[in-house]
Chains A and B, each alone.
Chain A
């Protein structure tokens, strides 16, 4: 069985956010370096900013690629994490409710996050970066499955 992945738009959104913050970082580092130590300082600041941006880009890409989810017959599997791997299995019968949230950036890219809640507080099953329509579909599918298989505490 193949894990399903978040929409490539999530990567686009992440890159946009990363690009904007990097730009701000570059300007701040370059300008402050330039003011303090002249032209070489400015160049060094820009270089450092670029290095941070490139590293962040690779980290973000790794994190984006690590997301995956799988709907099986009786449960949902969500995995994530670049450095700290995490895999969560939630039986459909244990789902209490399903949340769909979308922040401002998410909405810009027509994305949404689906979050599953069980009676256990520690359960951490979240699927980010689904197209809004897909997210709504997944939510409905999950809640139907949850209802069909619901069991008492």
Chain B
């Protein structure tokens, strides 16, 4: 097959392979690591027999990996037929995946570093429903093909002709990289490190006055282990910060007629599209250390299957609307995706005063608001989190109360959506009000569903 494994035939119903360089892109990093291991073995081994044996093992693993990924490429084919995306894959366990285009929740284009170097990208189709255990992944296509496939899948998902060109996106918002880096460094975990350092300082200050060599020895030991612990913690925090900077670098949101376009990434580029009307919930959080700067983070939840992604990707698959923004920007962004819903709640919607006895540490943030389209709830102890749920997406409403809540004549109300991550929780409401709210929200949700049809 020529290099241009053109997408047109696949989209018009002919089976197609993925890009021929896919195997290389897929095992690129592993191959590099193995090569490094081989080199270090060759240069650093002591006995010649051990060296050859180990080198052979490494070479065998590398060759096996290469063969496996080539075979996987050979047996994988895909096409779009009717209103389905079909992917056949697997040599031993043959898998035939069918993704109804109508149920597509989002289409992402992801380009990890090795794929990016080769000019390839992965198309990832996130669909709702319970039948499939995994997302549709086309790894890899060439950059142009990936963009084309994404445009056509989205067009088909919206019930348009496949040839509909991708509508242009209007730039909506752009995250300042400097602020992103600063915000990534400002994590609550730093406080823990600070506490540890303070404890260490106290120990060090106490130690010299301690009488006896054994005590001093113990103090020194404690200090050493403390320093090691702090260093490990700092390293982990730094890694975490680097990862989030890497993931969210150059974060831009565009507004296209078919959905929101998110672009982000430093080494690994990601282009996500979230169709309108697929947003199950919006959340705005203000971490403790960001509050002095008036920053906030806005996240989105779409319907998806329970954790079936590869490990470590769950976090990246989380849809961020803005990794960090000023509160005004965050409010404005929320207004773009949830017009009419307040992004932060005043104390007007606070639960009755007696709720303080049940929730002394979060009472100051508890609040609830709703109109005929949105339910907004706010919870949190040190980090206020506002969850905004469109009433038309409500799946079920739950009311619960334990002994203490009942004694105070209070109840908790929770509203579930098909999103997997948050529920809107109106905590510690007056029991009668909550009971009335259940029916009221039920009616409003019903009406919202009718209207959205």
Q: In the complex, are the beta carbons of A91 and B394 less than 8 A apart?
A: yes
Of the residues A90, A93, A119, contact of B418 by C-beta under 8 Å: A119
- B380-428, CB < 8 A from A: 393-403, 406, 411, 414, 416-420, 423
- A89-141, CB < 8 A from B: 89-91, 93-94, 96, 118-125
Report the separation of the CA atoms of residues A119 and B395 in the bound assembly, to the nearest whole angstrom: 7
A2-10, A37-45, A46-54, A79-87 - the one binding chain B: A79-87
Judged by a CB distance under 8 angstroms, whether B65 is at the interface is no
Q: In the complex, are the beta carbons of B278 and A153 less than 8 A apart?
A: yes
Number of residues on chain B facing chain A (CB within 8 A): 35
Q: In the complex, are the beta carbons of B438 and A89 less than 8 A apart?
A: yes
Using known A-B contacts A75-B442, A119-B128, determine if residue A153 contacts B303 with beta carbons closer than 8 Å: yes
Of the residues B396, B403, B423, B442, contact of A118 by C-beta under 8 Å: B396
**What would 29 A/B residue contacts be, using CB atoms closer than 8 Å?**
A84-B400, A84-B402, A84-B403, A85-B399, A85-B401, A85-B406, A88-B399, A89-B396, A89-B397, A89-B438, A90-B395, A90-B396, A91-B396, A91-B449, A93-B449, A94-B394, A96-B130, A118-B416, A119-B417, A119-B418, A120-B395, A123-B396, A125-B396, A151-B453, A153-B105, A153-B128, A153-B280, A153-B303, A153-B418
Contact residues of B: prevailing secondary structure: mixed
Judged by a CB distance under 8 angstroms, whether B446 is at the interface is yes
Of the residues B306, B416, B445, contact of A123 by C-beta under 8 Å: B416
Q: Which 9 A-B pairs have the closest CB atoms?
A: A120-B416, A119-B418, A120-B395, A87-B399, A123-B396, A118-B395, A89-B397, A90-B396, A122-B416
Rounded to whole Å, the gap between the CB of B99 and the closest CB of chain A is 14
Report the separation of the CA atoms of residues A81 and B412 in the bound assembly, to the nearest whole angstrom: 14
Using known A-B contacts A120-B417, A123-B416, A151-B453, determine if residue A91 contacts B400 with beta carbons closer than 8 Å: no
User: Which residue numbers of A lie inside 8 Å of B, CB to CB?
Assistant: 74-75, 81, 83-91, 93-94, 96, 118-125, 151, 153
Q: A-facing mask of B84-116, CB < 8 A → 1, else 0?
A: 000000000000000000010100000000000
Q: In the complex, are the beta carbons of A83 and B397 less than 8 A apart?
A: no
Q: In the complex, are the beta carbons of A85 and B303 less than 8 A apart?
A: no
Rounded to whole Å, the gap between the CB of A84 and the closest CB of chain B is 5
Q: In the complex, are the beta carbons of A94 and B403 less than 8 A apart?
A: no
Q: In the complex, are the beta carbons of B402 and A83 less than 8 A apart?
A: yes
The listed residue with most B CB atoms (<10 A of its CB), out of A89, A96, A118, is A89
Q: In the complex, are the beta carbons of A151 and B449 less than 8 A apart?
A: yes
The listed residue with most A CB atoms (<10 A of its CB), out of B278, B280, B395, B417, is B395
- Chain B residues near A120: list those with CB within 8 A: 395-396, 416-419, 423
User: Which residue numbers of B lie inside 8 Å of A, CB to CB?
Assistant: 103, 105, 128, 130, 278, 280, 303, 306, 393-403, 406, 411, 414, 416-420, 423, 438, 442, 445-446, 449, 452-453
- Chain B residues near A88: list those with CB within 8 A: 396-399
The listed residue with most B CB atoms (<10 A of its CB), out of A120, A121, A124, is A120
- Chain A residues near B396: list those with CB within 8 A: 88-91, 94, 118, 120, 122-123, 125
Report the separation of the CA atoms of residues A89 and B446 in the bound assembly, to the nearest whole angstrom: 12
- Chain A residues near B128: list those with CB within 8 A: 119, 153
- Chain B residues near A93: list those with CB within 8 A: 446, 449
- Chain A residues near B303: list those with CB within 8 A: 119, 153
Rounded to whole Å, the gap between the CB of A83 and the closest CB of chain B is 6
Q: In the complex, are the beta carbons of B403 and A121 less than 8 A apart?
A: no
Report the separation of the CA atoms of residues A112 and B270 in the bound assembly, to the nearest whole angstrom: 49
- Chain A residues near B395: list those with CB within 8 A: 90-91, 94, 118-120, 123
Which partner residue on chain B sits nearest A74 by CB separation?
B446
Q: In the complex, are the beta carbons of B400 and A85 less than 8 A apart?
A: yes
- Chain A residues near B438: list those with CB within 8 A: 87, 89
Q: In the complex, are the beta carbons of A121 and B399 less than 8 A apart?
A: no
